[in-house]
Amino acid sequence: MSRSVQALAYARPSALTTEGGTGRLGLETSGGLTPVGREAHPQFFAGFLSSPQAAARGLLAVADVAAARYYQRTLRASLDPVVTAGGDRLRFESFSGCCGVYARLDVLPEGLDGADTGHGTTNVDVNNPLREALSRLSGDEPLHLRVGPDELAVTTADGPVVEKKVPLPDRWLRGFAEAQVITAGFDLRAELSAAEAVRFLRTLPRTTTTGAGAGGRGSLWVVPAGRTLRPTTRPVPGAVCLPGPERLTALQRVLRHATALRVYGPAAPDGAATAAAWEVTLPGMRLTLTLSPEPSRGFSGEGAVLEALATDEAAADADLVSVLLSWEPRIDTADLAARSGLSPQRVRGALTRLGTAGRVGYDAADAAYFHRELPYDAGRAEARNPRLTAARALLADDAVHLHTPTAATAGPRTATVRSGERHYQVREAAGGVLSCTCQWWADYRGRRGPCKHALAVRMAHRGQTATKSTTTTATAPAATAPAATTPVTAAGETR
């Protein structure tokens, strides 16, 4: 797993001082991006949290996810949460080591007590000393927090604990990008009171449902039933997918402080397993766990960003939109469209592309994107998406042949794609969805984004790359001959 590493340079050592009988922990910072540009030593947050015990347990829950693997448990987890100050709130984010659970604690304006919040992002390693300090926090003990771009510190009655920055895994960045695209399609599906939320979460099974796999067979679903949620084995109307219910264990940390539980998800498509977001509301805060469609599927491989990355215009649009971002905790897409002169659809495509560099996320509770900055180079987006790289290679190799329907051959657009020694048929269905005869499509049927062949055809249709187009006519049917005479299996094929 590759990681991004940054050099740290401090102007002076961090220090703990006493002012007016109150301990002040000053942490020096090393570089950061603010609304006025890059600063060598910016300050993002210094102050108290209005609900210290709930905040401490929320931080521990985010750390629990960062330290956990819910699939292939014997491998090492990442242990490096991300912290963003957005002007009026703080967001703590992490992924599980298997990248199948995304956790976020939003400390809202009402959760911050007597402190101005700046702008910036950093990632930190929450290790055992910090976890112990947070665990010892009592109900009436104040919690003073100061965040810079390179460090996080917690001050309790027992003294300061300071955590140094650790590298951020590349797989997390792909997860950030995929999660924001997927959750942008979520709606509120259910809301439970605090008492019902506690009752429901404590009755969930602690082990993965046997048989969960492709198409969601064996996955657990839940459906609103009166004031609570009722488990079901099939996706009835209004149901929300819950594969691997043990992946919600981190929510147990905050149940004693919960005021409600909200569940977000998409419409269930034909019984296929889907992602869903589970949000516990706390005094001045929200803790959200977003689960991938299956415990064995991490967000980093979902392929939801490929369509936006495959357009030349998305790169230029992202450059324009990025100039207009101002660390908003809630990005207004319509306002960005008006200011940029782009359509709302192109703005969303630009935000998706910016998400591949970790520069935007999505908050289902606000139904809005938010601005953050992670230490990644946006130019590495294609390297982190091998299907996109493979699609561009197919175009460069002149391997895509488009068949344009004529009056004599009315029907959906089709194409033939040569990949190695095999040929694949790509067909456009109603709504512009592309299907393919390759094994990737047979396995996932679009649930994990387009295959490289369909992606290459999409790019060719948009006229991004000079490709050789073939017009199918009644007197020239030979253009489709390769698919008829060549096996369409994908053994050994790079998906």
pLDDT tens, residue by residue, 38-59: 665 566 787 888 888 898 899 8
Ranges 72-81, 155-164, 222-231, 354-363, most confident = 222-231
Q: Which residue is associated with the tokens 């498509």?
A: 269
pLDDT, greater one: 379 or 24: 379
One-letter amino acid for residue 144 of the chain: H
Closest CA to 180 of 360, 376, 388: 360
What pLDDT score does 342 carry?
A: 93
Per-residue pLDDT for 432 more than 80? no
What pLDDT score does 187 carry?
A: 93
What pLDDT score does 352 carry?
A: 82
What pLDDT score does 77 carry?
A: 63
pLDDT band at 281 (very low <50, low <70, confident <90, very high): very high
CA distances from 471 to 396, 429, 457 (A): 20, 19, 15
Question: Which residues on neighbouring strands pair with residue 375, listed in sequence order?
Answer: none
Per-residue pLDDT for 24 more than 80? no
173, with CB counted inside 10 A (0-12, 13-18, 19+), is: buried
Tokens of 357: 């560099």
What pLDDT score does 308 carry?
A: 65
Q: Could you give all domains of the chain from N- to C-terminal order, each with its CATH number? A: 36-179+187-303 (3.70.10.10), 306-380 (1.10.10.10), 386-485 (no CATH)
Written in H, E and C, the secondary structure of the chain is CCEECCCCCCCCCCEEEEECCEEEEECCCCCEEECCEEECCCCCEEEEECCHHHHHHHHHHHHHHHHCCCCCCCCCCCCCCEEEEECCCEEEEEECCCCCEEEEEEECHHHEECCCECEEEEECCCCHHHHHHHHCCCCCCCCEEEECCCEEEEEECCEEEEEECCCEEHHHHHHHHHHHHHHCCCEEEEEEEHHHHHHHHHCCCCCCCCCCCHHHCCCCEEEEECCEEEEECCCCCCCEECCCHHHHHHHHHHHHHCCEEEEEECCCCCCCCCCEEEEEEECCEEEEEEECCCCCCCHHHCCCCHHHHCCHHHHHHHHHHHHHCCCCCCECHHHHHHHHCCCHHHHHHHHHHHHCCCCEEEECCCCEEEECCCCCCHHHCCCCCHHHHHHHHHHHCCCEEEECCCHHHCCCCEEEEEECCEEEEEEECHHHCEEECCHHHHHHCCECECCHHHHHHHHHHCCCCCCCCECCECCEHHHHHHHHHCCCCCCCCCC
∠ CA 346-302-101 to the nearest 5 degrees? 110
Please write the tens of the pLDDT for every residue from 144-186.
Answer: 777 765 566 666 666 666 555 555 566 777 788 788 888 988 9
Range in 133-142, 438-447, 450-459, 470-479 the model is least confident about: 470-479
pTM of the model: 0.76
What pLDDT score does 253 carry?
A: 93
Tokens of 425: 């048929």
What pLDDT score does 17 carry?
A: 32
pLDDT band at 113 (very low <50, low <70, confident <90, very high): confident
